[in-house]
Each structure stands twice: as structure tokens, then as C-alpha cells.
Amino acid sequence: MTNLQINVNDQLVKQDQDHLWHAMSRFVEGGKTMVAESGEGAWFTDIDGNRYLDGVSGLWCLNLGHGRKEIVDAAAEQMMKLSYFPLTLSHIPAIQLSAKISNLLGDSYRTFFSNSGSEANETAFKIARQYHFQNGNPEKHKIISRYRAYHGTTLGALSATAQANRRYKYGPSMPGFMHVPLPYSYRCPFGDEVTDCDKVAADFIDQIIAWEGSETVAAVIMEPFISGGGVIVPSPSYLQRVSEICKKHDVLLIMDEVVSGFGRTGKMFGFMHSDGVQPDIITMAKGLTSGYLPLGATAVHSRIYEKFKEEGTSNHLRHVSTYGGHPASCAVALKNIEIIENENIVARVASLGNRILGRLKDLISHQNVGEVRHVGFLYGIEMVEDKGSKQPASDEFMANIISRCKEKGLIIGRNGDTVPGFNNVLIIAPPLVSTEDDLHFVVETVTNVLQNIK
């Protein structure tokens, strides 16, 4: 590296320290943040020339990796053809993408486009409440979500997010949001003696709806697999039971597929692991465009949309997103989905997620590994002080593991800023196009670090 490049890099670092506010990061005086410069496939290179495998796909979104020229070309071509157009009217990429989403979901849906997962969930909450109001049930407004779940950072989505560290100092939360225990067999919230934590957790939702009065509950929102809250993977029967409970009480089931959608779990959508489940509303973002451009989507079953067709000055959805459904973003999403289908990405994830990443399950023999949870290219390794007490591993211990992986060229994550004292789950979610060598590198690096950690 030349002296000129060193000076340029030093200037970038100084400007970063002085002007850029980083997400989810504590301020460290004189600290040096990693500055990425380029990427290829599952790897990126920083301004100092260091190369890393991105084991968390950016923020769970870089499903097809860096440098897919056909995606970039789709965006450029669309911008030259039609740079911007609002969806108060329509444009071709949005029409084609909404039809494609219905096809992928296996039923008839209407899709409202926004810019992010948080906005997609905010849209879902408004739709659920308005639907019940116009369906003759104006008191059905409450939204139920689960502890440790993450649904976004805007105020309504944050109120649904049941992670205490994320909400601290930002209260009070919006009224009408309630939280219930999650299906977490390793630390069952209903007691260690419970033999079927998933069933008890599902039935608890039934009880809460009854106790609150089903005439007041609008929707249940959940990820099929809790991701940022620690990779909690319930049985397929759990979601089937929740779906039945929602139908019983005329409560809408909102499935947050922001992380799990578009192949991450070895199915196109996470809810598809549970036979017979067809959510009323599905929210998505991240893998929808593989992070190449911002785009969120709220797909609403056509049965729900019928209530928004009724005559009247206030019966339509009075909601707008200036950049939601941007023509270039929709074009990118269409090309992204085309690649996922043409390259059989979903089947590849299902296979390699077990055959190669599945070797991470062998880490259960490690003295500090309490449980290894997984689905597709989504792995969570719960670290403990010892297996008997299940005492969560300390922040220092977790930081040491992540730092050592980084030294070896692998970026992994953890469930940071979620539950006080329980930020002890290592998260591994590499791009879905990671080569077999990439995946072997992930497994070997994590295994080596844990074997030599003290």
C-alpha cells in the first residue's frame, strides 16, 4: 500500500469518526471501524486490503452475494427507461413483481410496496386494524407478538419488537401491542418440566386472546423462525397450531418473512416448512432484492383486500410511500427472484445447509455450547458458561469468539442488544451463493476458534 493510499485511508477513517453515526454501535474514542471497499460473491475487502467472508450476509440480506452484474444491469436499464414513478398510479416492474409474489406464495395476494422490513410491518398493522374496523369489528386493534422477536425499529414496529434492550429509553411503546412467551425448548419460559414447550407456547396465545377478549385482538405477528433474537427454531406443528388459533378467533396471522424469505431456510418462505399454513399477511424485504436496492413488501391475501374495495371516502388504505416500489428496486427484485429460480438456490440451501453447515452441530460436544439451532443457511450456537447451569456466556467471552473469527477472515454475528443478560447466541447466516469451499471455511474457522478459546 502506497503512502498516498495510507493517507487517503487515514482521512476516510477520520471522516468516519467525525461524521458517520453507525447503527447499533457504541461510541469508542479513537476507535477504528472496518471500512469496506469492494466485494465479490460471499467475500468483501476493506480499505486496508484485508479480505473477509461475510458470515451474516451483511444484515441477513446479501443472499446472492456481491457483484451480480445481471442485477446491476437490471437496475441501470430500468433507471434509464423510467427513473421514478409513484405507486399512487402504476408502472410495469411493480405490476410484474406483485404478480410474481402471489405466484411464489401459492395464493392470491395484493402487495403494497415500501422501503424496508420495518415499514412493511407498519403497513401490515394499519391494514389489519382497518380491515377489522371495516369488517364490523372496530374494537379489534391489539397486536400480539412474541418475546425475543424483532419486527423493526420504527415506533410501531419497535412496539411489536419484544427485545427489552432495543426498546430501552425509547418508551413508552405504542398502545395496543402485547407480548407472549416464545417456543424455546432449551429455556422453556413455562418451566424445565414442560415436555412440549412448542404446544404450550401456542396454546398460551389462545389463552391470551380469550383473556383479552377476541373482539379486541386484530393480529398475531411472528417470524417463522426467530432470527435476531437468537435463532429460535420451533417445530412445524407450532405454526400450524398458531394458524388454527388465529382462525378460531378471527385474528389475522402476519408472517414476518423479512429474514427467512427467498430461500434462507431451504424453502422459498419460512412458513412453508409447516404444511397447511397460509398467512393472511406476509411481510418481506432483505432477500427480496438481496440487498442490492431497498425494497419492502406487504402481501395481503385477496380475501382481506376485498374490504378495501368498498365505497366510501375513507375505506381505501390511506397510506403512501414515496419511494416504496421504486421502479429500479422492483426490477432488481424481479431479476433477483429469476436468479434464485434459475440457479435452484432454494434446493441448494436445503442440501448444503445440512451437508456442510450441518457439521456445526458437532460443536454440541464443546463444554461451552448449550445448543445448536438451525434451518437452511441460518445457524444459532447458544454459548453458556457450563452445560449444567446453562448460565449464558459473558459479553467478553462472546466478543472474544467473534474477534478471533474476524482475525481468521470470517465475520459472524450474535444476538446483541436483545435480552438483558442473554446476548449469548452466535449467529451464522452466509450468502446463499457461498461456494462449498466457502462453507467449509466457515465451519472450520468457527470450530477452530471454539476449540482454542479460553
Three-state secondary structure readout of 360-410? HHHHHHCCCEEEEEEECCEEEEEEECCCCCCCECCHHHHHHHHHHHHHCCE
Report which of 130, 40, 77, 121 is spatially closest to residue 285, judged by C-alpha positions.
Answer: 121
In the block, cell 445440512 appears at 354
Report residue 30's pLDDT band, with 50, 70 and 90 as the boundaries: confident
Identify whether 16 is part of a domain.
Answer: no
CB 164 within 8 A of CB 246: no
Taking the C-alpha atoms of residue 108 and residue 301, their distance in angstroms, rounded to an integer, is 6
- End-of-domain residue from the set 342, 360, 395: 342
- For the stretch 200-220, pLDDT in tens is 999 999 999 999 999 999 999
Identify whether 24 is part of a domain.
Answer: no
Please indicate, yes or no, whether residues 225 and 332 belong to a single structural domain of this protein: yes
- End-of-domain residue from the set 327, 342, 357: 342
Q: What is the CATH number of the domain that holds 407?
A: 3.90.1150.10
Please indicate, yes or no, whether residues 47 and 93 belong to a single structural domain of this protein: no
Please indicate, yes or no, whether residues 413 and 333 belong to a single structural domain of this protein: no
Report residue 2's pLDDT band, with 50, 70 and 90 as the boundaries: confident
Identify whether 241 is part of a domain.
Answer: yes
Q: What is the pLDDT of residue 24?
A: 81
Please indicate, yes or no, whether residues 100 and 52 belong to a single structural domain of this protein: no
- End-of-domain residue from the set 342, 357, 377: 342
Number of domains in the chain: 2
DSSP H or E segment with residue 32? none
Please indicate, yes or no, whether residues 203 and 143 belong to a single structural domain of this protein: yes
Please indicate, yes or no, whether residues 47 and 128 belong to a single structural domain of this protein: no
In the block, cell 493510499 appears at 5
Identify whether 391 is part of a domain.
Answer: yes
Q: What is the pLDDT of residue 112?
A: 98
Domain that residue 61 falls in: 34-67+345-451
Q: What is the CATH number of the domain that holds 129?
A: 3.40.640.10
* pTM, two decimal places: 0.96
Identify whether 26 is part of a domain.
Answer: no
Identify whether 21 is part of a domain.
Answer: no
Please indicate, yes or no, whether residues 183 and 91 belong to a single structural domain of this protein: yes
Residue 235's SS3 state is coil
Please indicate, yes or no, whether residues 261 and 368 belong to a single structural domain of this protein: no
Please indicate, yes or no, whether residues 353 and 313 belong to a single structural domain of this protein: no
The predicted model gives 249-274 an average pLDDT of 98
Q: Is the pLDDT of residue 7 over 90?
A: no
- For the stretch 61-89, pLDDT in tens is 999 999 999 999 999 999 999 999 999 99
Taking the C-alpha atoms of residue 156 and residue 159, their distance in angstroms, rounded to an integer, is 5
- For the stretch 360-374, pLDDT in tens is 999 999 999 999 999
Please indicate, yes or no, whether residues 99 and 121 belong to a single structural domain of this protein: yes
Identify whether 364 is part of a domain.
Answer: yes
Report residue 396's pLDDT band, with 50, 70 and 90 as the boundaries: very high
Identify whether 23 is part of a domain.
Answer: no
Q: Is the pLDDT of residue 1 over 80?
A: no
Report which of 390, 454, 451, 388 is spatially closest to residue 425, judged by C-alpha positions.
Answer: 390
Q: What is the pLDDT of residue 23?
A: 87
Please indicate, yes or no, whether residues 258 and 384 belong to a single structural domain of this protein: no
Please indicate, yes or no, whether residues 309 and 372 belong to a single structural domain of this protein: no
